[in-house]
Structure 1
């Protein structure tokens, strides 16, 4: 939905299963319209659409696109952003590091992302900015050297040129957001600046790149890195890197006591990657690729576990965990405070708690529609306090 200062808020539909277009649309019919009726009655409703590569190809058929456009108009909805991070399956089976494949060294990632922009250019209402989010280049464990980094930069340049051609053709402001994530090729605000600096060193005359390619800032991810929202966002924006989208998301945090580490096993599930960063209370000390590796380290080196752990596990924005666990809701609030002071810095906000199916029961508020509505209530309430809604 459109809010003050031209801001747009939605939730990411990657919370629903949808690996082909039929199942994606079914999720919109069964869940998104229910949420829409409860939180945006009488208003146009913005959708943060997740499309797999298969769903994107199927939607690109002219008859399918026309039918979806009619559906959007009928229900007074619009698409302003697309999540293009997961290329394939995202529910019900092992995803883990596979979500980074194909990465930006692959032509498949480039062609998929170009297709998403082709679709968004057709779906996006006139006069509105449109974003696509994507993975942060690659994953640190994939062995990205000089040659691979060159391929990533080359493919991003081609994507930027494609975005530029669509802008010239349609007059629409379209932009790609790389999403820093723990153990991604780019994971911190400092690495964001380094990545874009290296790109511009390689392509010093590409003056349009920073207009077309920026950052999708995920609050969960940067909080897991023990970054402060105000400092991280200012560092990125002040360097001239575009803030394409803000993901409003919350991470799990805990003191690594014996009791808490035992309970953490409840969050060790086989589908998603749950990177862990241990801190001395201020600075990151150790990074673990997933919960089992972190727990094994704690078992073997109990005196070196640090003061606080943060876990890449998206938990509901409004529902703080209990029993010795906490959340990083303060990072979201810091992000909103920063945006209130600089409301033109980023137009797109998307709530992203895709882990609904694997959340411990205590963190589920009714069914998925109830949870999403509760997240809207919390988010809109905090935005109103800051004059953003």
Structure 2
């Protein structure tokens, strides 16, 4: 949907299914339903998630042509894709395997390039397209600084090979696309400072001479190509978990010449830690309903002196609750964006409102907005709605926050 000049959709990683057949079937069911619930008029944007398996199928000309026909029939278009989860993402243990294979592997590079070839065939004329991806890898897989350094060398080369392909596609087909790196807790890239370092310490020093030689251009032009084709996926939940203020982050990226390709609209669970032991005990019992075996739910705590402490998953944080003097926990659990409170808990919904105000004031920040709440199947039962109703309610809330009346676009 076009809302005040922004492309808005939801991420289809909410739907289970790894094959293209299953993915397409979910789109056929839910896109018409969500459009109807929103009374949406005009072209309807899709945030497409395809697994590696589905990408291999969809690249076949007959499958791609069938999908293109369906998009035309239902007046829908794809402007962004989620290339973070490579494989199975529902109804099994995912946890840190969501990063596998990571950017140290050719498999991740090849899946991403294949996805861009598909997106180039789906993008409407005049619209840039983006694919979000893993923040290099899961940081705890690297047991030493040397191991991480070696991994970054390989990952950087793979990222630059994606840039090379995106430059060629732009030159040949006229489709401008960008890879949107998505920081998250316990990723190799967790925050804005680490993104800035990725460009300053890896992509630019290695990429400028490499691309300059590849294309016979000046290094200044090579730098522009890198910053055009590698951007950031700003997941509101992830940046809120590490306690970054949106205006500060946006200013930091602007100063470094780093663009935001997509904002994923999502909310984290926020918990204020009481001092009283019996209240802590009660809090821990209630938080147990958010402990589940599918996804990682990293916790970042704010301590008494304002410093941050990280836990790799919610059970590890809960084990410290009785004795902790921490003041606040922010938990990587994508909760529905339209709810501010969950019983005794709250969310980082306010940060979404701040982000939306920022981009309305400065639309140059990004043009792509994608609601991403993929945890419906593992939410506590009292917070669930039917899937179609949930998706529509989230989009409707965002549209309302942007000052638009649902049903007008």
Residue in 1 aligned with 2:149?
Answer: 146
Choose from 196, 200, 208 the match for 2:199. Answer: 196
Contact 1:225 1:284 in 2 (8 A): no
What is the SS of the residue equivalent to 1:283? coil
Superposed displacement of residue 40, structure 1: 4.8
Task: Give the corresponding residue for 2:352.
Answer: 332
Counterpart of 2:266 in structure 1 is 249
Q: Which residue is 1:180 aligned to?
A: 183
Contact persistence 1:260–1:325 (CA under 8 A): no
Cα 1:281/1:79, change in 2 over 3 Å: farther
Following superposition, the deviation at residue 284 of structure 1 comes to 4.1
Cross-structure match for 2:2: 2
TM-score by length of 2: 0.90
Report the counterpart of residue 102 of structure 2 in structure 1: 103
Which residue of structure 2 lines up, in the alignment, with residue 319 of structure 1?
A: 339
Post-superposition offset of 1:322: 3.1
Per mean C-alpha deviation after superposition, the further-off stretch among 198-207 and 57-66 is 198-207
User: Which residue of structure 2 lines up, in the alignment, with residue 375 of structure 1?
Assistant: 394
Equivalent residues of 1:226, 1:282 under 8 A apart:
no
Q: Comparing 333-342 with 43-52, which one deviates more in the overlay?
A: 333-342
Q: Secondary structure at the match of 1:102?
A: coil
Residue pair 1:237, 1:243 contacting (<8 A) in 2 also = no
Match of 1:165 in 2: 168
Partners of 1:252 and 1:311 within 8 A in 2: yes
Which runs of 4 or more aligned residues in structure 1 lie more than 6 Å from their structure 2 counterparts after TM superposition? none
Q: Which whole-Å CA distance do the structure 1 matches of 2:353 and 2:307 have between them?
A: 22
Is the contact made by 1:281 and 1:308 (CA closer than 8 Å) also made in structure 2?
Answer: no
Shift of 1:283: 3.4
Is residue 240 of structure 1 aligned with residue 234 of structure 2?
A: no
- Cα displacement string for residues 90-113 of structure 1 (whole angstroms, at most 9, x for unaligned residues): 000000000000000000000000
* 1:2 CA displacement: 1.7
Unpaired runs of 5+ residues, structure 1, are: none
Question: Could you say if the C-alpha distance between residues 263 and 173 of structure 1 is closer, same or farther in structure 2, counting changes exceeding 3 Å?
Answer: same
Could you say what secondary structure the match of 1:226 adopts?
A: coil
Larger radius of gyration: 2
Count residues with an aligned counterpart. Answer: 382
Unpaired stretches in structure 2, ≥5 consecutive residues? 209-218, 275-279
Q: In 1, Cα distance between the equivalents of 2:302 and 2:50?
A: 36
Cα 1:56–1:305 shift into 2, 3 Å = farther
For normalisation by structure 1, the TM-score amounts to 0.95
